Amino acid sequence: MEQVERLLKRTLPFQVVSPETLDGIAEISRHEVFKAGEVIYGAGQPAEEVYVLVSGRVAHRIDPDIKARVHEKELQVGDVFGWAAILEGEKVRLADVACIEAAEVLKIDGARLLELLRKDVNFGEAALKSFSQLISQQYYLPPSVSERVPTTLSKVGDTRTPASNEAEPQTASAWTLTMYRAGEWLRSPDPYLMMVGFALMLGFWYLTVEVLKLPRFEDLPGLTTVVKEWFAEDPVYGMSIYTAEYYQHIWVSIRRVAIAFLLATALGVPLGLFLGWSRSFREYVFPVFELLRPIPILAWVPLAIIMFSGSETPVIFLTFLASFFATALNTMLGVESIDESYTRAACCLGANRWQVFKEVIVPGSMPYVFTGLQISVGVAWFSLVAGEMVSGQYGLGYVINTSYTMVRYPTIIIGMVTLGIVGYTTSAMVRVAGNYMMQWRLREMALGGR
Amino acid sequence: MSAVLEKVRTQGNEARYGAIRIDDVVKIYDPEGAAVMAVDHCTLDIKAGEICMIVGPSGCGKTSLLNAIAGFHDITSGAIYMDGEMLCGPGKPKADPGADRIVVFQNGALFPWKTNLENVAFGPMMQGKLSKKEIIEKARSMMADAGLSGTEHNYPGEVSSGLRRRVEIVRALMNDPKVLLFDEPYRALDSLTRSVMHESLLDIYYKNKVTIFFITHDLEEAIFLGHKLVIMTTRPCRPKKVLEVDIPHPRDYSVLTSPRFRELLEETASVVHEEARKSFASGEKEG
Ligand SMILES: Nc1ncnc2c1ncn2[C@@H]1O[C@H](COP(=O)(O)OP(=O)(O)O)[C@@H](O)[C@H]1O
Ligand SMILES: [Mg+2]
């Protein structure tokens, strides 16, 4: 069954449908084998099933009475044929199809297939559209045939009004696409491999520290100690998921990162765009930028403390700085990555310099900008902890540092793990936001970047 | 399509604008340094509404000539005129790019971040000549004419490469250009898709009379589509042989098997082959 689905997903009309529909289609598919020379069907016969070629060589000859630009072709593995079974009007075979060599096919009942596609509110229409494209582009048939593919889904009690409401199907499919990808991930081996990875790491920790008590490891807090402390209502060292203090540290750190990240984005993206766009601006600014960028954030600590009063602003400044460089640099690379033919095309079509910037440079650099923002959140957390260890009253970096001086070892680990979780979540949020804003990329990738 | 063909047969070629005159044009890249000469004293006359096919080996300078007409870069000497008006020449080395001459690029340049409809509407939107509503209406009807209904809200990355090319041509035609400049647009397509593209291009051409400057290195394509065939020398490029293709338009695929087509192919193949050999021997790469 899984194999059938995998095969169906490689075919043009079915690669877009939702997983449930694919399941359904796989269920109604029947496997059949034909010998060399055997006829699969002949023109004029009633058409009930749609076929997918699984293996072997099959010749497809369209009835000479039908107007087609090309009449004979050899089908490729993965090709869908016999689509006459879903056409509106008289369902008869339009071609003779015979095996050149032994062939395996999948047979899918046309009426039931249509029913399934009509139930698929978001992708059924796309699949049907893709059938009609297939007919005109791969079988070279005129619109009089390809237009007989049923297109309207509103027949089946669909509440959405077709065509007139244009914005809605797009947002709906944006959401379902995201869900679709999440479902894909859950079905792939990835999540289970990930769990194995985690289990190995935790097992190693538990064994080395608590069971084997290896030298150099025995002083470390053990897995069970940390977990007990973390989830204790009355923690030995004063911090667990039941204490308000824990959330205060998390909140302070998140707030600092958020402020620094937003500031870095607000300044870094425009700077990067101008650096990439204007040659002269770049010649002034870029050398300075390149000189400052490699200086490690820790080296900025003294200056930050001298320059900013209090404990809050220096930490935010340090966090901001690292993010800012990452964002600006990636945005600039994004502008450079834009193919010259896009800007030229825009010029041809009458766009002025400002319009080129707004319509081509900004959207064209978005993929890099979002890569930059993901790096930027990462380095923001990194420099935040550096800053919090040196100055500051609260925050996860502060917790880790003070727990060390006060010999509360399990609390160090709690701080570290919390940092990992919070950091991962924020960077995932940036990724999701990026995918949401770049529907075009998401959809392109969903189709395997054809 | 046959109704359209009929109309063309009776009305003939109507284009009155878009005559291009290339007058002794020279293009040298980096004249102070490496001094790569791409175009060498090239002179060529293209009539309004004519399909002019440029054939030449890779790296000979075809794109350089096209870029000069489009206004993407300057020329070193000579002049280019459109309908008698100088686009570039003495005192004005670079033409201004504009919607009267639109390029269809080798790898396609539909904006992947805009839907097909937004792409088609792009030109008039930028020029701000019509209201948004009028533009969308026009875009929809032009897409429908070109058989693109149903793909309006797809992104270019979601449709086949053949369809993308068609969308790109419609995007150009939205601006009522005088000249379309094609830079090997069908190079990446397989031969079957290409044959479909040829017919659809001719179909579009018969409906919208424009001048077409079309670069290719496929000789059959050139003879099948063109009124005029220009075979270029290896770099630096200059017309080596200019030929009127005397097969009457409108044409369809039966032309490919006609004796006249075969004759023209034989007549030109050796010339092209000779230039290709020279180009190969000099190790030319395309730019
Ligand atoms: N921007 C450039 N700077 C220097 N040389 C270039 C540039 N663009 C193209 N060339 C050179 O000019 C010659 C002609 O290039 P091009 O016009 O792209 O050829 P074609 O389109 O016929 O393949 C090539 O040798 C190429 O290396
Ligand atoms: Mg070229």
Domain locations along chain A: 2-167, 221-447
With CB atoms and an 8 Å threshold, state whether B157 touches A443. Answer: yes
Contact partners, residue B13, CB within 8 Å, separation at least 6 = B49, B209, B249
Which of B25, B62, B64, B235 has the most ligand 1 atoms within 8 A of CB, as the residue to mutate? B64
Residue of chain A nearest B70, judged by CA positions: A348
Q: Which chain A residues are within 8 Å of B147, Cβ to Cβ?
A: 136, 143
> Which of A75, A173, A348, A370 has the highest number of chain B CBs within 10 A, making it the mutation to test binding with B?
A348
- How far, in Å, CA of A223 to CA of A231, rounded? 12
Q: Confidence band (pLDDT; 50, 70, 90) for A335?
A: very high
ipTM: 0.90
Query: How confident is the model at residue B139, as a pLDDT?
Result: 95
With CB atoms and an 8 Å threshold, state whether A450 touches B122. Answer: no
Which run of H or E residues covers position A319? Answer: helix A312-337
Residue of chain A nearest B176, judged by CA positions: A349
Among A69, A137, A363, beta carbon nearest to B113? A363
Instruction: Among the bound ligands, name the one nearest to the CA of residue B62.
Output: 1
- Taking the CA of residue B67 as reference, the ligand 1 atom at the shortest distance is 17
pTM: 0.71
The CATH number of the domain covering residues in A2-167: 2.60.120.10
Q: Which chain B residues are within 8 Å of A166, Cβ to Cβ?
A: 153
Taking all residues of chain A, what is their mean pLDDT, rounded to a whole number?
86
Residues A230-255, mean pLDDT to the nearest whole number: 93
The conformation of residue B237, written as its DSSP 8-state character, comes to B
Q: Which chain A residues are within 8 Å of B97, Cβ to Cβ?
A: 344, 347-348
Query: How confident is the model at residue B42, as a pLDDT?
Result: 94
Query: How confident is the model at residue B12, as a pLDDT?
Result: 46
Chain segment A95-146, per-residue pLDDT in tens: 889 888 888 899 999 888 888 888 877 778 888 888 888 888 778 888 778 8
Residue A154 or B249, more confident: B249
Say how many C-beta atoms besides its own lie within 10 A of residue A405's C-beta: 7
Q: Are A365 and A273 in contact (CB under 8 A)?
A: yes
Task: Identify which of B279, B190, B251 has the alpha carbon closest to the alpha carbon of residue B53.
Answer: B251
- How far, in Å, CA of B41 to CA of B60, rounded? 14
Chain segment A345-381, per-residue pLDDT in tens: 999 999 999 999 999 999 999 999 999 999 999 999 9
Chain segment A75-93, per-residue pLDDT in tens: 888 889 999 898 887 888 8
- Burial, A354: exposed, middle or buried (Cβ in 10 Å; 0-12, 13-18, 19+)? exposed
Instruction: Among the bound ligands, name the one nearest to the CA of residue B33.
Output: 1
With CB atoms and an 8 Å threshold, state whether A341 touches B150. Answer: no
Amino acid at B98: G
Helix spans in A60-165 (H): 110-119, 124-137, 143-146
With CB atoms and an 8 Å threshold, state whether A70 touches B98. Answer: no
With CB atoms and an 8 Å threshold, state whether B99 touches A348. Answer: yes
Amino acid at A418: T
Say how many C-beta atoms besides its own lie within 10 A of residue B36's C-beta: 15
Interchain CB contact of A71 with B (< 8 Å): no
Ligand 1, atom 9: closest residue by C-alpha: B287
Residue B188 or A313, more confident: A313
Chain segment A174-194, per-residue pLDDT in tens: 677 777 778 888 888 888 888
Residue B150, both tokens: 């149903």
Query: How confident is the model at residue A447, as a pLDDT?
Result: 61
Query: How confident is the model at residue A195, as a pLDDT?
Result: 92
Beta strands in chain B (DSSP E): 20-29, 36-46, 51-55, 77-82, 85-88, 101-104, 179-183, 211-216, 228-232, 239-244
Q: Confidence band (pLDDT; 50, 70, 90) for A155?
A: very low
pLDDT tens digit at each of 287 positions of chain B: 444 444 444 444 466 789 999 999 999 998 888 889 999 999 999 999 999 999 988 888 999 999 999 999 999 999 999 999 999 999 999 999 999 999 999 888 999 999 999 999 999 999 998 999 999 999 999 999 888 888 899 999 888 888 898 999 999 999 999 999 999 988 877 777 788 888 888 988 888 889 999 999 889 999 999 999 999 998 889 999 999 999 998 888 888 889 999 999 998 998 888 888 888 887 766 55
Q: Would you say the CATH fold of A221-447 matches that of A2-167?
A: no
Q: Are B132 and B118 in contact (CB under 8 A)?
A: no
Query: How confident is the model at residue A241, as a pLDDT?
Result: 92
Residue of chain B nearest A166, judged by CA positions: B153
Among B102, B107, B153, beta carbon nearest to A349? B102
With CB atoms and an 8 Å threshold, state whether A348 touches B126. Answer: no
The CATH number of the domain covering residues in A221-447: 1.10.3720.10
Residue of chain A nearest B193, judged by CA positions: A137
Q: Which residues' Cβ are closer than 6 Å to ligand 1?
A: B 29-30, 36, 38, 56, 58-64, 235, 285-287
User: Beta strands B179-183 and A80-81: pairing type?
Assistant: unpaired
